[in-house]
A and B are shown apart, each in its own frame.
Chain A
Amino acid sequence: SQQGEEDPQALSIQEGENATMNCSYKTSINNLQWYRQNSGRGLVHLILIRSNEREKHSGRLRVTLDTSKKSSSLLITASRAADTASYFCATVRNDYKLSFGAGTTVTVRA
C-alpha cells in the first residue's frame, strides 16, 4: 500500500519561480526521501530527512518534515527548465522498505 501521497498531482510554473510540493503519510516513519524522475527514466535520489530532523537543504532544494502533522514539503527555488520532472516522496518505516507516493509532475515553462 502507498504510504505517501503527494499534493498537488501537477504543477506548472514559470522559469525562475519557486515550486512547492507536499507529501502526507499515515503512520510513523524512520525517514522520508524525495526522488526525481525525468520522463520515462529511472528515479534519482534527491534528499533524505530523518524523523528527528525538521529541515534539510541541498543546493536549490529545501525539505521540511513535520512528524506531528505527518507531512513533508519539497521546495525547489529559482526553477529551471531542467527541473521539469516528476517528484516522488518515499517513506521508510521500521521495516526499512521504501513506500512511494504517486508523485507530483512539475512543468517549468521557459
Chain B
Amino acid sequence: DADVTQTPRNRITKTGKRIMLECSQTKGHDRMYWYRQDPGLGLRLIYYSFDVKDINKGEISDGYSVSRQAQAKFSLSLESAIPNQTALYFCATGTGAGYEQFFGPGTRLTVL
C-alpha cells in the first residue's frame, strides 16, 4: 500500500550493529504499529503508538526501541542487532481501537 512506506526494503547487517527501520504514512492516521513476522508464527506486535506523545510496548519489545517523530513517522531501532532478530518487519497504521490496520510493504532484515 503506497500510503504506508517503509525504508529500507531489505537490509543485511552484522551482529552488534545499530539499525533503524523507518515508516512513513500519508493516511493521516494517529495510530501506528510495528510488527515482526517469522515463518510459521504469524505477526507479533513489537511497539505501538496512538499519537506523537504515546509509546507502548507490545508482545516482544525486548531488544527494540521506537521513536514517533511526527504523526506520519514511526521508526524502529535495534540497538545491538542479533541473529534471532532476522525477520520481516511491518509497519501498520490504524484509525481507531480494534479497527482494520493498513500495512506497509515490509522490511526484510538479515542479521549475520
Name A residues whose Cβ lies closer than 8 Å to a Cβ of B.
1-2, 30-31, 33, 35, 40-45, 48, 88, 92, 96-103
Contacts and interface: CB of A to CB of B under 8 A. Distances in A.
Among A2, A97, A103, max chain B CB count under 10 A is at: A97
Interface of B: 1, 4, 35, 40-45, 48, 58-59, 88, 90, 92, 97-106, 108
B58 A100 contact: no
A2 B48 contact: no
B78 to A, nearest CB: 20
Contacts of A97: 45, 48, 58
Contacts of A102: 40-42
A42 B42 contact: no
Given A40-B108, A88-B42, A97-B48, A48 B99 contact: yes
B67 to A, nearest CB: 20
